[in-house]
């Protein structure tokens, strides 16, 4: 399972959502999940101070971190996702979400998220979600 920034932030803030409950159950059972490197960046960018930064970095670094095998090809494919969405009248707010979706597709993974961009992307590509 691959976890998006939207769920990580809610989980770390102690929010009670369907997605955070899924993540809590997996963690409680010792299941290790994967995080795209860009999600690590997005979460760390939200740190409020040095102490929180260190805690977040330590926690996130203990997970499996995903990166594309071929950055250029993944970026080109993510741009194509964005392009295809626009041509089909589907609005995706974040190019980063296209990049995350492409990483998930390349890994044949399933994405745990709470971001409407991924619901929109599923209309155009083979993104699998939980």
Q: Give the annotated binding-site residues for Mg(2+).
A: 4, 97
Alpha-carbon distances, residue 3 vs 19, 36, 85 (angstroms): 9, 8, 22
Alpha-helical runs (H) found in 1-130? 5-12, 18-28, 37-45, 50-61, 71-87, 95-107, 116-121
Q: Which residues are annotated as a binding site?
A: 4, 97
């Amino acid at each position: 399972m691959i976890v998006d920034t939207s769920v990580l932030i809610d989980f770390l803030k102690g929010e009670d959502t369907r997605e955070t409950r899924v993540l809590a159950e997996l963690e409680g059972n010792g299941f290790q999940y994967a995080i795209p490197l860009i999600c690590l960046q997005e979460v760390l960018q939200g740190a409020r101070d040095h102490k929180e930064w260190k805690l977040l970095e330590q926690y996130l670094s203990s997970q499996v971190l995903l990166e594309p095998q071929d950055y250029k090809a993944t970026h080109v494919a993510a741009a194509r996702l964005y392009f295809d969405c626009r041509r089909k009248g589907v609005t995706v707010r974040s190019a980063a979400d296209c990049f995350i979706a492409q990483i998930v597709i390349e890994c044949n993974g399933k994405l745990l998220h709470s971001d409407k961009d991924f619901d929109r992307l599923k209309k155009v590509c083979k993104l699998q979600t939980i």
